[in-house]
Each structure stands twice: as structure tokens, then as C-alpha cells.
Amino acid sequence: MSTITIVGAGMMGSAMSVPARANRHTVRIVGTPLDREIIEHARATGEHLTLKRRLPDEISYYQIEELDSALAGADLLVCGVSSFGLDWFIENIIPKIPESLPVLSVTKGMMNIGEGRLISYPEVFEASTKKKISFNAIGGPCTSYELADRDPTVVTFCGRDISTLRWIKSLFETDFYHISLSTDVRGVECAVALKNAYALGVCLAIGLSYRRQGREFEHYNSQAALFGQSVREMSRLLDLCGGRPDNIMLGAGDLYVTVFGGRTRKIGILLGSGLPFDEAMKKLAGITLESVVIARRTTTAVRELIAAGRAAESDFPLILHVDAIIRCGEPVNIPWRAFETETII
């Protein structure tokens, strides 16, 4: 059996303890400075405070000051922070990671580094240190609470070295957690990061339906239309990022589960219902909205690509409209006709 240390006691990082413990591995969960209450509650009750589920037995819980003890003898480190904790992880955790300790990150996101270039978080981690640490990551449709419930899930682990990926897979694969492997790190990670921005776009249709009906009533034609347009634009961006086209399966799957619940759904509904962006953000104060961050980064890159002549505005009407809502405070006015195409074969 192996020892797995999870840094970040958020919902997804903590949910990774479920398949790990199902395989009888030793699990240690370390809270960030923002997770103190979660750690204390788990120590006292065995329940995760925000996941609202009991975690497997025999997990050890650590506050951040106890990090060194939690790392001692570990075989794998799981980065369980959100994208808002990326800089904290780089500054405070990576310097303490020995080169012999592989990392598996649950953190979904990407960075715009100028000239229309989007890179994955594992690449950001690699660039932050001179150490030769094996940084790997998870992509694909998986919500933390359903993983904790052992609902059958299919994800992809990505990294530079296939043998390392095969070993990490052996730690987590169960009859409810199924794992594909890929060395296309940027393709996998950018595909699943893009879904945050586009899920916000799809959820505008839910808010628009609420507004038309005067009550909470969903129509699915409009959601499906925005979903299809999202997949089309995500495919174009994957190509521009240099990712393999088959990664769109991961992005589309993740887009599907994100539309059905969570923070991104909330902001999209509020905007579609007619609330201006600034007011919607105030209403959701205190909620981590990675979708807004990813939308801004994506559209910055898209505009750089357009300026360089590598893309056209007509290639990305949905994400550019989302950007106009977020950055300029424009009202929701879906550019439906811009989605129409002609195909002649």
C-alpha cells in the first residue's frame, strides 16, 4: 500500500480520498490556511464540512503547520487547491516537494501567456521551479460530491511520463472510478478548463427561460443550441492550443456536468435573468467563480489571436458575447444568427 498526501481540503481534493481509501492506501489530508474549520470538523466528526458527506475511515488530518509531518514518507502528493490557490501552492508547497515525489493535481484551469497562447497548470508548475518534479493532472467530467457517492466516473490522468501515469492510475482506479491516460497535458487540461467559461454561456439560456416564464422553468432547445456552439468553439480553441482533437470529449463531458449544478450555473442564471454582471457578482459574494476568471483569460487569448490574424470574430461569437457581459457590463443578447452555418459537400 502507498501513502497519499492531499494538500488542500477542498471538496475535490478531499473526494479523492474515496477511491484511494477504497484501495486501502494511507491518506493524509492537509488543509490550507483557509481550510482550518474543515480540518477541525473532519477530525471531530469524520465528515467534510462543505462536501457534506462522511469521508472514509482512517484518514489523518493535518493543519498547514503540520505539512512536514504529512509529507514524511509520502509516495504521492495530490494538489487539491482551487485555481485561486495556484500561487499559494507554487510559493508555499512546491519548494517543499522532493523531486522523488510525484504530484497529481485536481486543479482545473489555464493561463494566457500572451500572443494568444494558453497553457495548462502543470506547465505553470513546471515553469515555477528548477526541480525535476513529475507534475500530473486530472481532466474529465467529475463532480466531487458524486465521486464521494461512488457514482461511476470516467476521467483522464495526464502527464509527461506514461509509466508514472500508469502507477498513479493503479492507486486510484476502482469499480466506480475509471481512468484513461494521456501524455497530451495541454490538450487534456485546456479542454476541461474551457468548460468553465462555456458553461456560464450555456447557463444564460436557463436564466433567459426563467425571465420569459416569470418562474423557474427550463427550456432545453436553447441550452442545447448553446451547448453545441460551445463544443464548436472549444474545438477551435483546442486546435489553436495544439491539443489533440479527441480531447473535446473531456471538455464536452465536463461541460455537461457543470451546466447541471454548482457556482457557474448560478452566475449564468442570474445574468440570463437580467441581473447586470456587477450586481450578480455582489449577490454571489464569497463564492469562488473560476468560470469568470477562465472566461476572461480565454477571451484575452482569442482577441490576441484575432489581432494576429490567426482567428476571426465569427469563429467565437459565444465566448466574445460572454466577455462583453463580464468585461463591459452588456446585457444578455445571445447572437443566435452568428451560430448559423452552411455546409456544402
Whether residue 306 sits in one domain with residue 211: yes
- The greatest distance separating any two alpha carbons of the chain, rounded to the nearest whole angstrom, comes to 65
**Is pTM beyond 0.85 here?**
yes
Whether residue 104 sits in one domain with residue 206: no
Average pLDDT of 148-160? 97
Whether residue 168 sits in one domain with residue 97: yes
Whether residue 146 sits in one domain with residue 266: no
- Structural domain contains residue 32: yes
Whether residue 161 sits in one domain with residue 256: no
What pLDDT digit, counting tens, does each position of 68-108 carry?
999 999 999 999 998 889 999 999 999 999 999 999 999 98
Cell numbers that stand for 29 in this block: 489530508
- Does position 262 have pLDDT exceeding 90, yes or no? no
- Structural domain contains residue 131: yes
**For the chain, what percent of residues have pLDDT higher than 70?**
100
- Structural domain contains residue 345: no
Whether residue 257 sits in one domain with residue 145: no
Whether residue 152 sits in one domain with residue 218: no
- Structural domain contains residue 304: yes
- Structural domain contains residue 225: yes
- Structural domain contains residue 344: no
Select from 183, 198, 224 the last residue of a domain. 183
CATH number of residue 320's parent domain? 1.10.1040.10
Count how many residues are written for the chain: 345
Cβ pair 36, 66 in contact under 8 A: no
Residues forming beta bridges with residue 267, ordered by sequence position: none
* Number of CB atoms found within 10 A of residue 152's CB: 10
Select from 159, 183, 207 the last residue of a domain. 183
CATH number of residue 153's parent domain? 3.40.50.720
* Structural domain boundaries enclosing 237: 190-339
Average pLDDT of 248-267? 92
Residue 261's pLDDT is: 78
- Does position 286 have pLDDT exceeding 80, yes or no? no
How many domains is the chain partitioned into structurally?
2
- Does position 288 have pLDDT exceeding 80, yes or no? no
Whether residue 163 sits in one domain with residue 102: yes
- Structural domain contains residue 287: yes
Whether residue 210 sits in one domain with residue 67: no
Whether residue 223 sits in one domain with residue 148: no
Select from 149, 183, 217 the last residue of a domain. 183
Spatial separation of the C-alpha atoms in residues 114 and 15, rounded to whole Å: 35
User: 3-class DSSP state for residue 216?
Assistant: coil
What pLDDT digit, counting tens, does each position of 27-70 carry?
999 999 999 999 999 999 999 999 999 999 999 999 999 999 99
- Does position 287 have pLDDT exceeding 80, yes or no? no
Whether residue 138 sits in one domain with residue 220: no
- Please choose, from the candidates 280, 324, 281, the residue with its C-alpha nearest in 3D space to the C-alpha of residue 302: 324
- Structural domain contains residue 334: yes
Whether residue 284 sits in one domain with residue 208: yes
